[in-house]
Amino acid sequence: MKKIVINEEYCIGCRLCEVYCVSQHSKSKDIIKTFKSSEDRPVSGIVFEENGYTTFALQCRHCKESPCTTACLTSAMYKNNNEIVLHNKEKCVGCWMCIMVCPFGIIKPDLKNKKVASKCDLCIGREVPVCVEHCPNEAIVLKEK
């Protein structure tokens, strides 16, 4: 399975990965439209870390033994046939156990609807996730692991 690998030494901290992630998960998939109309703006599935000149963008690692899927009461957090960890909003009850157990802290809460707001789905349906495709310095790459 191909996974996203981070080369933090080449991350320039532009945070364009987040911009593309948000627009990819919006209805229109158009950057300007997504950001100009505030109603349709999902939360990005990326957690951006910064300390001095070290920066990197972290997405779900799609762990082999994933604590979030184990902890989920309703199987809202589940693994599909391709070993990709996905989240089903319909089933989510907003207990946020997944957020508690995620060792990388990449699951973000939706405070308003009391649900899980965002999680990387590896841009399911696309060959290459948008963050990988648009990273200007190849700091995020897709690699067979």
Partner 1 sequence: MSKSKFRTDFKIVRDMEKCIKCQACARVCSNDAHVYDNESNSIISYNDKCVGCHFCEDLCPTGALTIKRNIPEIKFNSHWDSYSVYNIIKQAETGGVLLTGMGNDKPFKEYFDHIVLNASQVTNPSIDPLREPMELKTFIGKKPDKIELKYEPYKLEYNKPELKIINYKISTKMPPQLVLETPIMFSAMSYGSISLNAQKSLAKAATEFGTMWNTGEGGLHEDLKPYSKNVIVQVASGRFGVDIDYLESAAAVEIKIGQGAKPGIGGHLPGEKVDTEVSKTRFIPIGSDAISPAPHHDIYSIEDLKQLIYALKEATRYQKPVGVKIAAVHNIAPIATGAVRAGADFVVIDGMRGGTGAAPTVIRDNVGIPIELAIAVVDQRLRDEGIRQQASLIAAGGFRSSADIIKAIALGVDAVYIGTSALISLGCHLCQKCYTGKCNWGIATQDPYLTKRLNPEIGAKRAYNLLRAWSLEIKEMLGGMGINAIESLRGNREQLRGVGLSELELKLLGIKHAGEAW
Name the nearest CA neighbour of 4 among 109, 118, 89, 106: 106
- Minimum Å distance from CB 67 to partner 1? 32
Name the nearest CA neighbour of 103 among 63, 72, 138: 63
- Minimum Å distance from CB 95 to partner 1? 33
Name the nearest CA neighbour of 107 among 135, 142, 76, 144: 76
DSSP structural state of residue 30: -
Binding mask 114-143 toward partner 1 (x if CB under 8 A, else -) reads --------------------x-xxxx----
| Binding of residue 29 to partner 1 (CB under 8 A) | no
Which residues share a beta bridge with 24?
none
List the one residue from 5, 9, 29, 105 that touches partner 1 (CB under 8 A).
9
| Binding of residue 56 to partner 1 (CB under 8 A) | no
Strands 54-58 and 77-79: unpaired
**Could you give the CA distance from residue 116 to residue 130 in angstroms, rounded to a whole number?**
21
- Minimum Å distance from CB 23 to partner 1? 9
| Binding of residue 28 to partner 1 (CB under 8 A) | no
Query: In the complex, which residues of this chain contact partner 1 (CB under 8 A)?
Result: 7, 9-16, 18-20, 31-32, 34-36, 53, 134, 136-139
